[in-house]
Structure 1
Amino acid sequence: MTISASQVKELRDQTGAGMMDCKAALTETGGDMEAAVDWLRKKGLSKAAKKSGRTAAEGLIGVGAGGTRAALVEVNSETDFVARNEQFQTLVATIAALGLDAGGNVETLSGLPYPGSGKTVAERLTDAVATIGENMQLRRTAYLQVSDGVVAHYVHNAVADGLGKIGVIVGLESTGDKAMLNGLGRQVAMHIAAHDPTPVAVLTEEVDPAIVERERAIFAEQAAQSGKPAAVVEKMVEGRIRKFYEEVTLLKQHFVVNPDLTVEAALKAAEKDVGAPIKVTAFVRYVIGEGIAKTESDFAAEVAAAAGTK
């Protein structure tokens, strides 16, 4: 019997199971949709659908590194407990490595073949939901590449090599010594991970004008309350804007490794040892779960509801 693509899709929509599993279920049951659902339930594969609506704000940031290029991925789970699961860590590390071939596109990454499974990354994640028992999501990915130099990385709160709660990749373009560049790049990545406020751009001119104008409006209102002449207020605002640029522009920030120097000055000083000029091309910083609204549950209320009491 031939199983159509529309039948597979219908079963997948109902159960949340992987495409290959849905096809197998329909084949085994002669195309009977209800029997196929039961087949998947017996295999423990359909329960993924029930978990797909639950908030996944924990998990891991993974780094895939390859010399002149590197990728970041964020794979979310519902609890931090799962992030310590070796099976989940292997899953994230594998997806991070595949990120080198996705070019920063999460849809492309989701559709790439997952090694040794005969399934895509998305289908492998669905399988993992059923096996591990929590909702999981490949939320985002980023990619950096330089023509000559290194893309260095750093992972904070690491649970394994290249896996943790904060991940940073940073591109350093240079014809100089690659080993030294990589060490320096790791320090810059550590700075980006640790610095508060987080840099939003490498250079002053790269800061989003909308962000600058919003800050300018706030500073102007604050300065106007001083009651000083307009010319003085304008100078006060410009001074605050310069300070703002120093806070949010990577090269103008004081280097975490040596606070006596800015990142820009530290890179300039390192050029002698590296043997060539150094340019920071770009950086990306991921923090697990940032921007996800977490659902706070009232455990006592849940128990009372389950017991039929108030």
Structure 2
Amino acid sequence: MKFLSPVLFIFLNCSFCALCFKTNKSLKLSYNINNLKKSRKNFNNNIKVYSSNEHLKQLKYVREVTNASIQICNNALKECNNDIEKAVELVRKNAKNSLFVSTSVKTQKEGLVAAGILDNKIVLIELLSDSDFVSRNDKFVSFVKNLVNIALVGEMPSLNKSEATANYAASSTTFTSSTHNIDNLLTLPYVDENGRSNETVGEHLNYLRNIFREDIKIGRFTKYVKRNEQEFLHFYIHNVIEGNNTVGLSGVLLVMNIETLNENLKTKKEDILNIADDLAMHILSAKPVSISVDRLNEKVVKRELDIIKESLKDLKKPENIITNMINGKIRKFYSSVVLLEQEYMLDDTKRKVSQVIKDFSKKHEININVEYFDNFIIGEQNILKD
């Protein structure tokens, strides 16, 4: 019996240790499983939050363009599988008033717009950042100013036929913000304000990204080369930075065709500059996408006509009245997006821009026409143009 007592004690002790080990292992396993479930739940929640944020952005876009109720916009997005362009069309087709409320939508971007003229060339460029803190930094401001000079001096390839057709007012002398042209700009030698060059534009862009830890990139870009001696090049920058009239938060590039330009500049230069500034300010405010109706993209016109016809299909009226309503609505559309058809915004005369130009030409005996324009506004995107 004395001999068995120590043996029994050892046996019981070992059994207890084994039980503790097993229990501890089970507890650890249970803890790990619970953690895994919790992580999966958090992951799923993150997906839901991300999806929700994306949906809210889409909802905001559709509502901003159509001014329809949140419920109507939400239903349209669901029906169109979150395709925002189709959702906008659907809302407008079903609306009593099928016209655009706005062709511009807000974008979550900061940055600067800069412009410059050199001989027979003019450039308008947009440089984007994530925060205004970065876009106001001296390095950022210097970079966008240098970009303008580089784009003016650097050789840019001609637009091919398909690119020119896709553009609203493209010609063989216009270089726009296609991926091809921006990529070409990035390969040009970067020359700083002191004339030093030991890297490409793309390499200096990456240098700024590493310094500021932000997604700095070239946004929209236009370069125009004069086709004849009658073309007058002009730019206007709004909300200028530090008194520099070449850099700001928005800008317009404008090309006007003026008969006997050189002679008129000798005696009427101030008048020409005034009308150019006025037209540029109107463009910035009214945000047209085309100079004239015949230059408006055919796809845009066709889509607009389809939307108007669809919105009127349930009206029980004679065919001639429906036709007149369609013509009236398409004229209203032109007056919203075509420069020469828009109501001039810088006075209260309710004249069309085309009439303002005619009145100026008659008063100052200068025959002028708008040949080309482009405009960039930081934080805004034109849904018919950009």
Q: Secondary structure at the match of 1:109?
A: helix
**In 1, Cα distance between the equivalents of 2:321 and 2:273?**
46
Q: What are the Cα deviations for residues 137-179 of structure 1, in whole angstroms up to 9, with x where unaligned?
A: 1233101233223221122222232222222101001134342
**In 1, Cα distance between the equivalents of 2:373 and 2:356?**
17
**In 1, Cα distance between the equivalents of 2:283 and 2:231?**
19
What's the offset of the Cα at 1:289? 4.6
**In 1, Cα distance between the equivalents of 2:302 and 2:362?**
38
Structure 2 residue aligned with 1:106: 182
What's the offset of the Cα at 1:243? 1.8
Structure 2 residue 343 is the aligned partner of structure 1 residue 248: no
Which amino acid is the alignment partner of residue 134 of structure 1?
Answer: E
Is the alpha carbon distance of 1:230 and 1:143 closer, same or farther for their aligned partners in structure 2, counting shifts above 3 Å? same
Pairing partner for 1:285 from 372, 375, 381: 375
**In 2, Cα distance between the equivalents of 1:140 and 1:117?**
24
Which amino acid is the alignment partner of residue 141 of structure 1?
Answer: F
Q: What are the Cα deviations for residues 72-126 of structure 1, in whole angstroms up to 9, with x where unaligned?
A: 1111111111111122111111102222235433223212222213111111112
Structure 2 residue aligned with 1:217: 306
Structure 1 residue aligned with 2:121: 69
Q: Is the 8 A contact 2:292 2:338 kept in 1?
A: yes
Q: Secondary structure at the match of 1:163?
A: strand
In terms of fraction of residues, the more helix-rich structure is: 2
> For structure 1, which segment, 100-109 or 246-255, has the greater mean C-alpha deviation from structure 2 after superposition?
100-109
Is the alpha carbon distance of 1:189 and 1:110 closer, same or farther for their aligned partners in structure 2, counting shifts above 3 Å? same
Is the alpha carbon distance of 1:265 and 1:73 closer, same or farther for their aligned partners in structure 2, counting shifts above 3 Å? same
Structure 1 residue ranges (4+ consecutive) displaced by more than 6 angstroms after TM superposition: none
Structure 2 residue 149 is the aligned partner of structure 1 residue 59: no
Is the alpha carbon distance of 1:123 and 1:289 closer, same or farther for their aligned partners in structure 2, counting shifts above 3 Å? farther
What's the offset of the Cα at 1:259? 4.2
Structure 2 residue 358 is the aligned partner of structure 1 residue 268: yes
**Consecutive unaligned residues in structure 1, runs of 5 or more:** 1-54, 293-310
Equivalences for residues 2-81 of structure 1 within 5 A = 57-66=109-118, 68-81=120-133
Structure 2 residue 181 is the aligned partner of structure 1 residue 129: no
Pairing partner for 2:275 from 184, 208, 223: 184
Equivalences for residues 230-249 of structure 1 within 5 A = 230-249=319-338
> For structure 1, which segment, 114-123 or 269-278, has the greater mean C-alpha deviation from structure 2 after superposition?
269-278
Q: What is the alpha-carbon root mean square deviation over aligned residues? A: 2.3
Q: What are the Cα deviations for residues 217-257 of structure 1, in whole angstroms up to 9, with x where unaligned?
A: 22222333332112211111011112211221101111122
Q: Secondary structure at the match of 1:157?
A: strand
What's the offset of the Cα at 1:67? 5.9
Structure 1 residue aligned with 2:144: 92
Is the alpha carbon distance of 1:56 and 1:222 closer, same or farther for their aligned partners in structure 2, counting shifts above 3 Å? closer
> For structure 1, which segment, 78-87 or 267-276, has the greater mean C-alpha deviation from structure 2 after superposition?
267-276
TM-score, length of structure 2 as denominator length:
0.57
Q: Secondary structure at the match of 2:233?
A: strand
**In 1, Cα distance between the equivalents of 2:375 and 2:150?**
19
Which amino acid is the alignment partner of residue 184 of structure 1?
Answer: I
**In 1, Cα distance between the equivalents of 2:327 and 2:303?**
13
Structure 1 residue aligned with 2:240: 158
**In 2, Cα distance between the equivalents of 1:192 and 1:291?**
14
**In 2, Cα distance between the equivalents of 1:279 and 1:291?**
26
Which amino acid is the alignment partner of residue 280 of structure 1?
Answer: V
**In 2, Cα distance between the equivalents of 1:291 and 1:251?**
21
Q: Secondary structure at the match of 2:222?
A: strand
Which amino acid is the alignment partner of residue 127 of structure 1?
Answer: Y
**In 2, Cα distance between the equivalents of 1:130 and 1:144?**
32
Q: Give me the identity figure in percent.
A: 29
Q: Is the 8 A contact 2:220 2:376 kept in 1?
A: no
**In 2, Cα distance between the equivalents of 1:82 and 1:155?**
20
**In 2, Cα distance between the equivalents of 1:67 and 1:226?**
57
Count the aligned residue pairs: 236
